[in-house]
C-alpha cells in the first residue's frame, strides 16, 4: 500500500515539473539514430537553454523569447542541429564564432530581431547551410562596399523589411549559389548591376514595395535580369517620380532613363491629349536631362501613359487606393490589438499554470510528510508494544522462576524434616 502511494506521489511531482519546463522535447526519428525536436517558444528565455541530450537535437525552436545576444558557447552541445528558429527575440549582437561548430546546420531564422550588423564569416564554416531569414531587422547602416555574408552553399536569403537603402557592388559576391532573394519592403531606390552579376544561379528576386527611381542604373540591372532569365516579382517595377508613377517597362522598351541627380516634378499645365490609333493619354513632365537614344532634346518631355484614363480618373483611383490603405491600416491595428490581447491571456494562463503547479507540488510535499510521519508513529507504536511485551514476558518468567525456586526450597525443607530421626 505504502509503495503504491509513494509511486503516485512521484508521478504527480514529475507531471507538475513537466508543466513548468521551458522546452518540450519530442522524437522525430524516422530511421537511423535518435533525432529530437526541442520547442522552447514563448518561455521567457534570455539565453539558449542547456538541454539533456542536446547532441541528438536536430530542430531547435526558441522564438518569441527575450534572448539579446548569441555568443561563442551559445550552441555548445548542439553539434548536430539542422534548423534553428530564433524569430521574434531581442537579438542585437551575434559573435562571429557562434555557428562555427555547427557543420550540419541548414536553416536559420532570425526574423524580427534588432540586428544591425552580422559578421561576414558567421556561416562560413557551415558547409550544409541553405536557408537564411534575417527579415524585419535594421540593416540601414549597410553602405560600404563589402560582402554581406560569406557562404558557398546558401541558396535562399530573405532581407525583406530590413530598412536596406542600397546594395553595394560586392554585397552578394561571396554568396554565389543564391537562387532566391527577398528584397521587398525596403528603402531601395535603385539596384547596382554589379551586385547581381556573380549570381549565375539566381532564379527569383522579390522587389515590390520599394521607392524605386527610374534611373539608368536600375534600367541596366533590369536588363541584366532579362538577359539571365531571372524572374522578378512583381513582373513590372513601378518607379516613384514625385507624386507620379512610371513603369520601368517603358524605360527599358524605349532605352530611356533618368540620371541619378534628376529631380522630376509634374507641370501644372493643361493636359494635352494626342489623337492616335491607340488614343493614348499623354501628360507633360519636366525631367531635366533624359539620357537615352530615343530621348528628345528639348527641355519639356512628354511621357505617354498606357492606361488610357483621364487625370480625373487617376485622382479618383488615387483617392480610392488611399482609402483602401487607411482601411487596411485600421484593420492591421485592430488585429495587432487582438494579438496583444491573446498574448496577455496566454501569459496569464501560463502564470496560473505555474501557480497551480507550485501549489500541487506543495500539497504533494505536505501529503508525503504526513504519510511519512504517520508511518513513523506506527513504527514507534509497534516498537513500544514489542518492548512492553518483552518486558511483561520477562517479568512473568521472573515470577515463574521465583515460584519454582520457592517450591523447590519448601520441598527440600520438607524432605529434610522427614529424614531427621526421632529422639
Residue 284 forms beta bridges with which residues? 302
Rounded percentage of the chain residues whose pLDDT exceeds 70 = 73
Q: How far apart are the first and last CA of the chain?
A: 81
Closest CA to 250 of 210, 201, 307, 179: 307
Q: What is the pLDDT of residues 103-153, one digit of tens each?
A: 999 999 999 999 998 999 999 999 999 999 999 999 988 877 889 999 999
Instruction: Give the containing element (helix H, strand E) for 84.
Output: strand 83-85
Asked if residue 196 lies in contact with residue 170, where contact means CB atoms within 8 angstroms, the answer is no
Q: What would the pLDDT profile of 222-278 be if each residue is shown by its tens digit?
A: 889 989 899 998 877 777 654 344 555 555 555 556 544 443 332 233 333 333 333
Long-range contacts for 340-346 (Cβ within 8 Å, ≥24 apart)?
346/42
Closest C-alpha to 198, from 181, 180, 173, 166 = 173
* Cβ contact 94:121 at 8 Å: no
Give the angle subtended at the CA of 311 by the CAs of 305 and 316, to the nearest 5°.
115
- Are residues 274 and 282 in contact, defined by beta-carbon separation less than 8 angstroms? yes
Band of residue 172 on the pLDDT scale cut at 50, 70, 90 = very high
Q: Per-residue pLDDT tens for 396-410?
A: 777 777 777 777 777
Amino acid 101: pLDDT: 92
Does residue 137 sit in helix, strand or coil? coil
Amino acid at each position: 500500500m505504502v509503495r503504491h502511494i509513494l509511486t503516485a506521489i512521484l508521478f504527480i511531482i514529475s507531471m507538475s515539473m513537466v508543466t513548468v519546463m521551458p522546452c518540450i522535447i519530442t522524437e522525430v526519428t524516422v530511421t537511423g539514430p535518435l533525432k529530437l525536436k526541442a520547442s522552447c517558444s514563448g518561455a521567457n528565455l534570455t539565453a539558449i537553454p542547456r538541454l539533456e541530450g542536446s547532441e541528438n537535437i536536430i530542430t531547435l525552436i526558441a522564438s518569441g523569447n527575450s534572448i539579446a545576444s548569441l555568443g561563442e558557447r551559445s550552441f555548445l552541445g548542439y553539434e548536430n542541429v539542422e534548423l534553428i528558429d530564433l524569430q521574434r527575440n531581442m537579438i542585437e549582437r551575434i559573435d562571429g564564432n557562434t555557428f562555427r561548430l555547427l557543420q550540419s546546420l541548414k536553416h536559420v531564422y532570425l526574423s524580427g530581431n534588432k540586428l544591425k550588423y552580422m559578421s561576414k564569416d558567421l556561416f562560413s564554416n557551415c558547409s550544409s547551410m541553405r536557408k537564411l531569414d534575417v527579415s524585419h531587422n535594421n540593416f540601414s547602416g549597410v553602405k560600404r562596399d563589402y560582402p554581406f555574408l560569406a557562404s558557398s552553399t546558401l541558396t535562399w536569403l530573405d532581407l525583406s523589411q530590413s530598412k536596406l537603402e542600397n546594395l553595394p557592388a560586392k554585397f552578394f559576391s561571396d554568396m554565389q549559389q543564391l537562387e532566391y532573394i527577398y528584397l521587398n519592403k525596403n528603402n531601395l531606390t535603385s539596384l547596382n548591376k554589379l551586385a547581381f552579376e556573380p549570381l549565375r544561379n539566381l532564379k527569383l528576386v522579390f522587389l515590390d514595395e520599394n521607392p524605386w527611381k527610374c534611373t539608368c542604373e536600375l534600367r541596366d540591372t533590369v536588363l541584366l535580369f532579362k538577359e539571365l532569365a531571372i524572374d522578378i516579382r512583381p513582373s513590372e517595377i513601378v518607379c516613384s517620380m514625385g507624386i507620379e508613377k512610371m513603369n520601368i517597362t517603358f524605360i527599358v522598351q524605349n532605352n530611356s532613363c533618368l540620371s541619378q541627380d534628376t529631380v522630376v516634378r509634374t507641370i501644372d499645365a493643361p493636359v494635352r491629349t494626342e489623337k492616335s490609333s491607340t488614343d493614348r493619354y499623354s501628360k507633360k513632365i519636366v525631367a531635366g536631362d533624359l539620357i537615352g537614344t530615343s530621348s528628345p532634346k528639348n527641355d519639356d518631355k512628354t511621357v505617354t501613359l498606357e492606361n488610357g484614363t483621364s487625370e480625373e480618373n487617376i485622382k479618383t483611383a488615387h483617392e480610392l487606393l488611399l482609402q483602401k490603405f487607411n482601411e487596411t491600416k485600421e484593420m492591421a491595428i485592430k488585429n495587432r490589438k487582438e494579438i496583444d490581447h491573446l498574448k496577455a491571456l496566454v501569459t496569464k494562463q501560463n502564470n496560473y499554470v505555474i501557480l497551480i503547479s507550485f501549489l500541487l507540488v506543495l500539497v504533494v510535499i505536505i501529503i508525503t510528510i504526513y504519510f511519512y510521519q504517520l508511518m513513523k508513529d506506527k513504527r514507534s507504536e509497534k516498537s513500544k508494544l514489542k518492548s512492553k511485551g518483552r518486558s511483561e514476558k520477562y517479568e512473568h518468567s521472573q515470577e515463574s522462576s521465583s515460584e519454582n525456586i520457592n517450591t523447590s526450597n519448601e520441598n527440600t525443607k520438607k524432605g529434610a524434616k522427614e529424614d531427621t530421626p526421632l529422639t
